Amino acid sequence: MSSEAVRKHIKRFIPLVDFFAEVLGPNSEVVLNDVTDLDHSVVYIKNPTITNRKVGDPASNFVLKIMKDGIDADTNFIANYSGKSKSAPDLRSSTYFIRYQNKIVGMLCINTNHAPLEALVKQMDTFKKLFEVQTTPISEISTTNKENKTVTRPNKNIKVITENFNSSVSSIAKSAVEKKERELNVSVDFFQQDQKIAVIKELYEDGYFLLKDSIRVIASALKCSSPTIYRYLNKVKNMNQQQNTFK
């Protein structure tokens, strides 16, 4: 096996080094090693600031380990193993084995520096914690008593709800109807009277009917007349009064 032929074979991979460096960007070092000369293994390198190596530098301990212990003939590459350098302690490394006449003569190595990504993740985690405030159900919201002390206790006048932000009276009505449709798995066109009253009851308890034009809008959403909505609303009010009477 001619040493000149081997070097010529290895140099054929230089355009591939340029290609990978261009694709992966400056945060990935791409190195071409000639393992027939381990003392001066690095023959070509792009983005060398990752490990601060240069052409003519010796082989890494990984390359030396492979050359000492050998590797299976059907193994063409090893991908995504841990690496480190003085300037980049968290590298993701991969190596492709270059063979000539079935013998490993070179290695094409890629080392990607994960440190900037890890730093970004930490910054995002810190930023996220700035907004991690535990929410409290409205029924247990803190209030100030007559002695000017802050107390947290159940409020019987406010049921446990999650605040929803709607942009209009119609969107509130639409949301209530769609919620009931999902619950019943049936279109509003097929709602029975008690099901429509259930929608009215929920909206009434949430204060929906304090809004202007609420009767007309919910009548349209439930596909019935405004007088019908007034009748359902009166039934709901009567039911609530009866429940309060027996408490």
151 versus 110: the higher-pLDDT residue is 110
Condensed to tens digits (0 to 9), the pLDDT of residues 71-121 reads 888 899 999 988 877 777 778 899 999 999 999 999 999 999 877 666 676
Q: How far apart are CA 41 and CA 187, in angstroms?
A: 73
Q: What is the mean pLDDT of residues 47-71?
A: 88
Mean pLDDT of 198-226: 90
Between residues 123 and 4, the one the model is more confident about: 4
Neighbours of 198 (CB within 10 A): 18
Per-residue model confidence as pLDDT tens digits over 132-142 = 766 665 555 55
Cβ–Cβ contacts within 10 Å for residue 58, how many?
15
φ, ψ at 63 (rounded to 5°): -60, -45
pTM of the shown model: 0.51
Cα separation of 209 and 213, whole Å? 8
**Number of residues written out for the chain:** 247
3-class secondary structure per residue, 33-97? EECCCHHHCEEEEECHHHCCCCCCCCCCHHHHHHHHHCCCCCCCEEEEEEECCCCCCCEEEEEEE
46 contacts: CB under 8 Å, gap ≥ 6:
17, 18, 20, 21, 29, 30, 31
Region of residue 25 (phi > 0: left; psi between -120 and 50: alpha; otherwise: beta) = left
Mean pLDDT is lowest, of 117-121, 185-189, 230-234, for 117-121
Q: What is the pLDDT of residue 212?
A: 82
In the structure, what pLDDT confidence band is assigned to residue 152 with cuts at 50, 70 and 90? low
Residue type, 125: D
